[in-house]
Amino acid sequence: MNSRLTHISKEISYALRHHPEEYGLALDAQGFVEIADLLAAVNAKHPGRRPVTPSDLEEIVATSEKKRHEISGTRIRALYGHSCKEKVVHEQAVPPSVLYHGTARRFLPSIFDQGLLPMERQYVHLSADIPTALEVGRRRDAKPALLIVDAKRASASGIGFYEGNGSVWLADPIPPEYLALAKDES
């Protein structure tokens, strides 16, 4: 994806995940907005910039290395990552038996004390595979810690798991009893 589209993708994530109100947008219950409303708002904020078009959005969704956004008919949403105050409803689903969470080593004492918490976001974010989890963890630590989440047992105990994009799973807070630290994965 070229740098123009990368920049637009980041702005769209900001609007759809974190601050829709700054763009005069209101997300629906599943996090969708009308593409026409999003484009009007984004383009109004940058009058001197080449306008963002519906086909730019389609190209971002089709070519991004991570499936961050979803287009459905005339609407678009962020699939995960929300921190805005209206809680977005994601479809509850049965997770794989095991999921992973990559994080900074310095967070481990707190995580094994309090469990995995959503922190600034609406849900805990988990990865379906180890390489993805390590990549997430490397955003905060060059040698990230890898947590193995007993999703089967957590889900059976009533903790909610929700679909993100297939690679990213969302969950309610996960107590420490469902977490194990993997050794020497990074």
Closer residue to ligand HQG, CB minimum distance, 43 or 112: 112
**Does 9 contact ligand HQG by CB under 6 A?**
no
Residues with Cβ < 8 Å from 45, sequence gap 6 or more?
Answer: 23
Mark the segment that binds ligand HQG (CB under 6 A) among 22-30, 89-97, 113-121, 151-159: 113-121
Closer residue to ligand HQG, CB minimum distance, 43 or 132: 132
End-to-end CA distance of the chain: give it in Å, rounded: 28
For 91, the token pair is: 């479809």
Q: Which residue in the set 53, 63, 92, 114 belongs to the binding site for ligand HQG (CB under 6 A)?
A: 114
How many angstroms separate the most distant Cα atoms in the chain?
Answer: 54
Edge-first strand listing for the sheet containing 179-181: 161-163, 168-171, 124-127, 98-103, 145-150, 179-181
Beta strand extents in 36-167 (DSSP E only): 69-72, 75-78, 98-103, 124-127, 145-150, 161-163
Closer residue to ligand HQG, CB minimum distance, 74 or 114: 114
Q: Residue 169 Cβ, how far from ligand HQG at the closest point, in Å?
A: 10
Q: Which residue in the set 8, 15, 33, 116 belongs to the binding site for ligand HQG (CB under 6 A)?
A: 116
Q: Which residues bind ligand HQG (CB under 6 A)?
A: 66, 68, 81, 103-104, 107, 110-111, 114, 116-117, 119-121, 125, 136, 140, 168
